[in-house]
Amino acid sequence: MKTAIVTDSNAGISQEKAKKYGVYVLPMPFYVDGELYFEDRTMTHEEFYVRQQAGSKIYSSQPAPADVMELWDEVLKEHDELLYIPMSSGLSGSCATAQAMAQDYDGRVFVADIGRVTVTQKAAVLEARKRALAGESAAQILKELVYAKNDCIIYLTVED
């Protein structure tokens, strides 16, 4: 069974790296001064930080359901199933939305609510990809990710 691994850009995986790793990344939407952008597609990280330091009004949004389903539909043309690893449900409603949408995919889409973001989310994505390459199903990989979901800690620091 060919299992694809899909995540969102909150995992810190660029589109370029996604191709290298063999995973798919949904770019997360955000607004800068009222204009919509997509991470790593329509604005670079460098541009984002310049705008942030300049005092731009920035806020994030969860992806449109149509954008998520469009990516899933494309991935499922070449794979039997997919495991979607979005950012933590504790930080965004996008995970719950994805779980609801997955019900329309006849058991071909699994959504991992593992409470991770950034480097820990990326680690889960890479582990999932390794397991998929070893022949594990999305259901098996999901079970292992949920089992190990609390086995990580992330520390954040701020400039001031």
Question: pLDDT tens for residues 125-148?
Answer: 999 999 999 999 999 999 998 877
pLDDT for 2-17, tens place per residue?
A: 999 999 998 999 999 9
- pTM, entire model: 0.88
- Catalogue the E-assigned strands of 20-130: 24-26, 29-32, 35-38, 58-60, 81-85, 109-111
User: Rounded to whole angstroms, how far apart are CA atoms 158 and 160?
Assistant: 6
So what CATH class is 1-27+63-160? Answer: alpha beta
Positive or negative, the CA dihedral 65, 68, 69, 70 is: positive
Three-state DSSP at 14 gives coil
Query: Which DSSP state fits 104?
Result: G
When pLDDT is averaged across residues 85-97 and rounded to a whole number, the result is 83
When pLDDT is averaged across residues 35-55 and rounded to a whole number, the result is 92
Q: Higher pLDDT residue, 13 or 160? A: 13
What are the residues whose beta carbons fall under 8 Å from the beta carbon of 50, sequence distance 6 or more? none
pLDDT at 39 (0 to 100): 87
When pLDDT is averaged across residues 102-106 and rounded to a whole number, the result is 96
pLDDT at 61 (0 to 100): 87
Beta pairing class for 29-32 and 35-38: antiparallel
